[in-house]
C-alpha cells in the first residue's frame, strides 16, 4: 500500500515537473533524484521547494562545506572591470533539470543554458544582448575539462557568432566578447575556469 502511494506521489511529482520545466530531466535523474531537491509532501514554497532560494539550494551541495566536488559560487564583477556591479546567480546560466541541445547541433554539458523561448535549444538571457544561444561542449581531453569551443572558441565554426559559455554574455570585457570586437586570441583553447574559477566568482 505504502509502495503504491509512493509510486503515485513520484508520478505526480514527475508530472508536475514536466509542467514546470518543459525539457526532459535526464541529467537530473543521472545525478540527483527529484526528491533530493523537491519535497513532495512537506514543501513550504513554490515548485515543491522549501522556503529557500534556488541559489542557496544549489550551494547546499556545491558551496562551502557541500558534498559535491564541483564547487561553485555566483558570478561577480571584477572591481576593475568596465561593468557596473552585477551578480549572476545559478539559474541564469544553468537549467538543473537537463542538458539541452544547442543551436549548432550538439548537446551542452554541465546543464548550461535553458529553454528560454520554447525552441528547446540552450539559450541564456544575457544582461546586455538579449536572449543568445550558448554552446558548451566537451571537445577532447584536458584533464577531464571541456576545452576550446566550450568556453571561448574564437569563432571556431566561422559563423560570426560568439556563443561560448563565457563569451555569449560578454560585451565589455577586454577579451572574448560576444562580437568580433576586442581580442579573441587570449588563451584560445584553454579552459577559462583554470584561471577564473567558478568557486572564485569567476574572478582571477
Partner 1 sequence: MNRSRWLRSAWIRRVWLAICMGPILFLPVGCSREGAGGSGEIPVMVSPARMAMNGGSLFVSDCRTKNIYIMLRDDLSVGGFFRVEGTPLAVGIARNRVYVGNEATGSVEVYSLPGIRLSYLGGAGGLIKRPSDLAVDQQADRIFVVDGFDKNVKVYDLNGAAITTIGTGTLLNPTVVALDTARGEVFVADYGNVNQAFGNPAGVRVFDYAGASLRTITGSSGGFSRPQGLAIDDGHLFLADAFLGQILVFDAATGTKVKTLGSFGAGPGQLQLPLDVVVDPVTKNVYVTNNRLARVEVFEKGGMVP
Which CB sits closer to partner 1, 64 or 144?
64
Rounded-to-integer distance, Cα 128 and Cα 117, Å: 18
Q: Which helix (H) or strand (E) holds 88?
A: strand 87-88
Sign of the four-CA dihedral 64, 66, 70, 74: negative
**Candidate list 59, 72, 135, 192; residue touching partner 1; CB under 8 A:** 59
Rounded-to-integer distance, Cα 129 and Cα 163, Å: 12
- Can residue 33 be called a binding residue for partner 1 (CB under 8 A)? yes
Rounded-to-integer distance, Cα 183 and Cα 170, Å: 12
CB of 1 to partner 1, least distance (A): 14
Q: How many residues bind partner 1 (CB under 8 A)?
A: 27
CB of 175 to partner 1, least distance (A): 24
- Can residue 32 be called a binding residue for partner 1 (CB under 8 A)? yes
Rounded-to-integer distance, Cα 87 and Cα 75, Å: 6
The x, y and z cell numbers of residue 91, run together, are 539559474
The x, y and z cell numbers of residue 59, run together, are 550551494
Which CB sits closer to partner 1, 66 or 106?
66
What is 35-48 written as a DSSP string?
GGT--TTT--SSTT
Which CB sits closer to partner 1, 40 or 104?
40
Kindly identify the residues of this chain, within the stretch 161-200, that bind partner 1 according to CB under 8 A: 200
Which CB sits closer to partner 1, 56 or 131?
56
Contact stretch for partner 1 (CB under 8 A) within 53-61, 93-101, 118-126, 186-194: 53-61
Kindly identify the residues of this chain, within the stretch 63-122, that bind partner 1 according to CB under 8 A: 63-67, 73
The x, y and z cell numbers of residue 48, run together, are 515543491
Which CB sits closer to partner 1, 35 or 92?
35
CB of 118 to partner 1, least distance (A): 30
Question: Can you give the length of the chain in residues?
Answer: 204
CB of 52 to partner 1, least distance (A): 5
| Pairing mode of beta strands 114-115, 122-126 | antiparallel
**Residue 134 near residue 124, CB atoms below 8 Å:** yes
- Can residue 36 be called a binding residue for partner 1 (CB under 8 A)? yes
Q: Which residues in this chain contact partner 1 in the complex, by CB under 8 A?
A: 6, 10, 31-33, 35-36, 39, 42, 50-53, 55-57, 59-61, 63-67, 73, 200-201
Amino acid at each position: 500500500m505504502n509502495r503504491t502511494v509512493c509510486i503515485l506521489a513520484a508520478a505526480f511529482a514527475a508530472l508536475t515537473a514536466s509542467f514546470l520545466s518543459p525539457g526532459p530531466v535526464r541529467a537530473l535523474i543521472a545525478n540527483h533524484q527529484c526528491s533530493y531537491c523537491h519535497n513532495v509532501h512537506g514543501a513550504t514554497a513554490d515548485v515543491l521547494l522549501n522556503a529557500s532560494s534556488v541559489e542557496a539550494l544549489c550551494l547546499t551541495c556545491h558551496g562551502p562545506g557541500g558534498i559535491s566536488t564541483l564547487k561553485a559560487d555566483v558570478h561577480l564583477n571584477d572591481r576593475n572591470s568596465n561593468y557596473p556591479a552585477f551578480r549572476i546567480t545559478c539559474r541564469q546560466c544553468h537549467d538543473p533539470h537537463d542538458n539541452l541541445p544547442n543551436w549548432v547541433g550538439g548537446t551542452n554539458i554541465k546543464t548550461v543554458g535553458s529553454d528560454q523561448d520554447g525552441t528547446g535549444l540552450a539559450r541564456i538571457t544575457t544582461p546586455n544582448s538579449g536572449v543568445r544561444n550558448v554552446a558548451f561542449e566537451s571537445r577532447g581531453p584536458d584533464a577531464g575539462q571541456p576545452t576550446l569551443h566550450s568556453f571561448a572558441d574564437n569563432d571556431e565554426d566561422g559563423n560570426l557568432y560568439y556563443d561560448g559559455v563565457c563569451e555569449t554574455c560578454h560585451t565589455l570585457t577586454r577579451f572574448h566578447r560576444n562580437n568580433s570586437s576586442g581580442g579573441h586570441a587570449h588563451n584560445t583553447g584553454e579552459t577559462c575556469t583554470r584561471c577564473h574559477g567558478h568557486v572564485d566568482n569567476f574572478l582571477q
